[in-house]
Chain A
Amino acid sequence: MGLDEQKTAPSVVRADAPWRHDAKKDELRVIGKPIRKIDARSKVAGLTKFADDLKLPRMLHMKLLRSTAAHAVIKHIDVSKAKSMPGVKGVLTGQDMPIPFGILPVSQDEHALCLDTVRFVGDPVVAIAAMEEEQAWDACRAVEVEYQTLQTIGSSHEAAATDEPRLHDYGVRGNIHRLENLEFGDLKDGFARADHIREDTVFFEGNTHLPMEQHATLAHFDKDGKLTIWSSTQTPHYLHRALARVLHPLPAHHIRVIACPNGGGFGGKSDPFNHEIAAAKMSMLTGRPVKIALTREEVFWCHRGRHPVLMRSKMGVTKTGRITALDFESYLDGGAYGSYGTASTFYTGALQTVTYAVENYHFRGVRFFTCKAPCGPKRGHGTVQPRFAIEVQLDKVACDLGLDPAEMRKQNLAPRESLTANFLRIGSMGLGACIDKVVEGSGWKARRGKQERTKDGRIRGLGLACSSYLSGAGLPIYWNGLPHSGVQLKLDRSGLVTVFCGSTDIGQGSDSVLSWIVGEVLGVDPLGIRVVTSDTDLTPVDLGSYSSRVTVMTGNAAMQAAERARDIVARGAAEHLQVPVNRLVFADARVFDSENPDKGISFQDAVIAAEARCGTIGTVGSYTPPKTAAKFRGGGVGPSPSYSYSACVVEVEVDPDTGIYRVPKVWMAHDIGRALNAAVAMGQIEGSVYMGLGEAMMEEMAYRDRSHKGHRVFVHKIPSLLEYKSPSTMEMPEVVTYVVEDPDKNGPFGAKEVGQGPLLPIMPAVANAVFDAVGVRVDENPISFEKVFAALLAKKEGKDARFGPSLGKDGVPQVDFGDSLKVKTPWQGGDGTAWNEPKRDKKAAK
Chain B
Amino acid sequence: MLRLPTFSYHRPKTAAEAVRLKKEHGKDAMFVAGGTDLYPNMKRRHQTPTHVISLQDVPGLASVDVQQDGTVAIGAMCRLSDLERHAHLLAHYPAFAHAVKEISTPLLRNMGTIGGNLLLDTRCTYYDQSHEWRESIDFCMKKDGAICWVAPGSPRCWAVQSSDTVPVVCAIEAKVELVSPEGSRTIAASDLYRDDGIQYLTKKPEELLTRLLLPAPGNWKASYLKLRRRDTFDFPVLGVGACVWTDAQGVVTKASIRLGGAGSFAIPAVDAEKALLGHKLTDEVIAAAGEKAMKPARTMDNTDLDVYWRRKVAPVFVARALLACK
| B304 contacts A658, C-beta separation under 8 Å | no
> Can you report 17 residue pairs joining A to B where beta carbons are below 8 Å apart?
A133-B1, A134-B3, A137-B3, A214-B1, A295-B1, A658-B316, A698-B229, A713-B138, A715-B136, A722-B128, A725-B230, A725-B234, A730-B230, A730-B232, A731-B231, A784-B305, A786-B309
B152 touches A (CB below 8 Å): yes
A730 to B2, CA, bound (A): 28
| A293 contacts B1, C-beta separation under 8 Å | yes
A62 to B121, CA, bound (A): 32
B277 touches A (CB below 8 Å): no
| B312 contacts A789, C-beta separation under 8 Å | yes
Which residues in A have their C-beta under 8 angstroms from that of B28? none
Q: A725-B304, A731-B230 are in contact. Are A789 and B313 (CB under 8 A)?
A: yes
A207 to nearest B CB, angstroms?
14
B149 to nearest A CB, angstroms?
6
1/0 contact trace for A102-140 toward B, CB 8 Å? 000000000000000000010000000000011001000
| A727 contacts B230, C-beta separation under 8 Å | yes
A311 to nearest B CB, angstroms?
23
Interface positions, chain A 701-737, Cβ under 8 Å from B, are 704, 706, 708, 713, 715-720, 722-723, 725, 727-731
| A785 contacts B305, C-beta separation under 8 Å | yes
| A295 contacts B305, C-beta separation under 8 Å | no
1/0 contact trace for B228-244 toward A, CB 8 Å? 01111110000000000
1/0 contact trace for B105-141 toward A, CB 8 Å? 0000000000000000000011011101101111000
Which residues in B have their C-beta under 8 angstroms from that of A720? 128-129
A376 to B135, CA, bound (A): 27
| B231 contacts A786, C-beta separation under 8 Å | no
A312 touches B (CB below 8 Å): no
A29 touches B (CB below 8 Å): no
Which residues in A have their C-beta under 8 angstroms from that of B152? 706, 708
B307 to nearest A CB, angstroms?
9
1/0 contact trace for B288-321 toward A, CB 8 Å? 0000000000000000111001001100100000
| A730 contacts B231, C-beta separation under 8 Å | yes
Name which residue of chain A comes closest to B231, CB basis.
Answer: A730
A814 to B88, CA, bound (A): 66
Which residues in B have their C-beta under 8 angstroms from that of A706? 137, 149, 152
Interface positions, chain A 511-534, Cβ under 8 Å from B, are none
Name which residue of chain B comes closest to A133, CB basis.
Answer: B3
B130 to nearest A CB, angstroms?
5
A804 to nearest B CB, angstroms?
15
Name which residue of chain B comes closest to A132, CB basis.
Answer: B3
B198 touches A (CB below 8 Å): no
A708 to B2, CA, bound (A): 29
B140 to nearest A CB, angstroms?
11
| A723 contacts B230, C-beta separation under 8 Å | no
Closest 6 CB pairs of A and B: A730-B231, A68-B136, A786-B306, A786-B309, A658-B313, A121-B136
Name which residue of chain B comes closest to A134, CB basis.
Answer: B3
A220 touches B (CB below 8 Å): no
| B232 contacts A728, C-beta separation under 8 Å | yes
A327 touches B (CB below 8 Å): no
Number of A-B contacts defined by CB within 8 Å: 89
Q: Spell out B's residues near A (CB within 8 Å).
A: 1-3, 5-6, 125-126, 128-130, 132-133, 135-138, 147, 149, 152, 229-234, 304-306, 309, 312-313, 316
A66 touches B (CB below 8 Å): yes
A297 touches B (CB below 8 Å): yes
A810 touches B (CB below 8 Å): no
Which residues in A have their C-beta under 8 angstroms from that of B6? 134
A816 touches B (CB below 8 Å): no
| A66 contacts B305, C-beta separation under 8 Å | no
Which residues in B have their C-beta under 8 angstroms from that of A731? 230-231
Q: Spell out A's residues near B (CB within 8 Å).
A: 66-69, 121, 133-134, 137, 214, 293, 295-297, 657-659, 698, 704, 706, 708, 713, 715-720, 722-723, 725, 727-731, 784-786, 789-790
By CB atoms of chain A within 10 A, which of B6, B129, B130, B152 has the most?
A: B129
A113 to B20, CA, bound (A): 50
Which residues in A have their C-beta under 8 angstroms from that of B304? 718, 723, 725
Q: A137-B3, A708-B152, A789-B312 are in contact. Are A725 and B130 (CB under 8 A)?
A: no
| A786 contacts B130, C-beta separation under 8 Å | no
A127 to B138, CA, bound (A): 22
A717 to B313, CA, bound (A): 23
By CB atoms of chain A within 10 A, which of B135, B305, B309, B316 has the most?
A: B309
A609 to nearest B CB, angstroms?
54
A221 to B234, CA, bound (A): 44
| B133 contacts A657, C-beta separation under 8 Å | no
Taking A133-B1, A786-B306 as given, write out 16 further A-B residue pairs in contact, using a Cβ cutoff of 8 Å, ordered by the A residue number.
A137-B3, A293-B1, A295-B130, A657-B313, A659-B309, A698-B229, A706-B152, A708-B149, A713-B137, A715-B136, A720-B129, A725-B304, A729-B232, A730-B231, A731-B231, A785-B305
| B305 contacts A786, C-beta separation under 8 Å | yes
A719 to B138, CA, bound (A): 17
Which residues in A have their C-beta under 8 angstroms from that of B229? 698, 725, 785
Cβ-defined partner of A728 (8 Å) among B133, B149, B231, B316: B231
Name which residue of chain A comes closest to B135, CB basis.
Answer: A68
A725 to B312, CA, bound (A): 22
A295 to B125, CA, bound (A): 18
| B130 contacts A708, C-beta separation under 8 Å | no
B302 to nearest A CB, angstroms?
10
A731 to B233, CA, bound (A): 12
Which residues in B have their C-beta under 8 angstroms from that of A69? 136
| A789 contacts B135, C-beta separation under 8 Å | no
B220 to nearest A CB, angstroms?
26
A704 to B134, CA, bound (A): 12
| B230 contacts A728, C-beta separation under 8 Å | yes
| B3 contacts A708, C-beta separation under 8 Å | no
A723 to B302, CA, bound (A): 11
Which residues in A have their C-beta under 8 angstroms from that of B312? 789
By CB atoms of chain B within 10 A, which of A716, A722, A727 has the most?
A: A722
A785 to B238, CA, bound (A): 15
| B233 contacts A722, C-beta separation under 8 Å | yes
| A718 contacts B232, C-beta separation under 8 Å | no
| A718 contacts B125, C-beta separation under 8 Å | yes
A297 to nearest B CB, angstroms?
5
Which residues in B have their C-beta under 8 angstroms from that of A297? 129-130, 132-133
Which residues in B have their C-beta under 8 angstroms from that of A789? 309, 312-313
Name which residue of chain B comes closest to A714, CB basis.
Answer: B136
A614 to nearest B CB, angstroms?
52
B107 to nearest A CB, angstroms?
12
Which residues in A have their C-beta under 8 angstroms from that of B232? 728-730
A729 to B230, CA, bound (A): 10
A711 to nearest B CB, angstroms?
8
Which residues in B have their C-beta under 8 angstroms from that of A786? 305-306, 309
A784 to B304, CA, bound (A): 12
Name which residue of chain A comes closest to B3, CB basis.
Answer: A134
